Every structure is written in C-alpha cells, then in structure tokens.
Amino acid sequence: MRARHFEITYRLKDSRQKFVQPDSHMSDEDAWYYACLHAGVGLLYGEDDAQRNGEQLREHAEKSGLSLVAWEELP
C-alpha cells in the first residue's frame, strides 16, 4: 500500500501554520485532531474518542485560539 500524505493548515491566534501528516486516510475530524496535536492544544488524557467527536474537539480547539483547519492530499 502506497503511503499517503496530507497537508494540514490552520491558524493559531494570529499565526498561520502548515505541516504534512502521513496517514492511511483523512477527514475533517482527523485534521482538527492533528492540528490540535501540532499546535500543542491539550487534549484530555485517555480521551480516545476525541478524534471521533468532532464537535467537542472543535469547540475545545477554538477556545484555545485554533481555527480555520483545512487539509488536502498531496500527490
């Protein structure tokens, strides 16, 4: 199976950030989860459903100043 890579962009307060994340697939919820990790936005320890509970994750991220998360698959 060919490795897939995704470019994720986000804004943290007044700073635009961009990074490449390898994964087998990507969704909006996945991108928000990875952006939180990349930005150092704390997630609750043991919260295995954080990646699947997109609305709660997004609210937490936005309260921490993270916004405008977008992603695209790289060729």
Q: Per-residue pLDDT for 71 more than 70? A: yes
pLDDT value at position 67? 97
pLDDT value at position 31? 95
- The span from the CA of 16 to the CA of 36, in Å, is 13
The mean predicted confidence, pLDDT, of the chain is 87
Residues 26-38: pLDDT tens digits?
999 999 999 999 9
| Residue 56: partners with Cβ closer than 8 Å, 6 or more residues away | 50
Answer with the residue of higher pLDDT: 31 or 55: 31
Residues 12-22: pLDDT tens digits?
999 999 999 99
CB 8 within 8 A of CB 60: no
CB 66 within 8 A of CB 41: yes
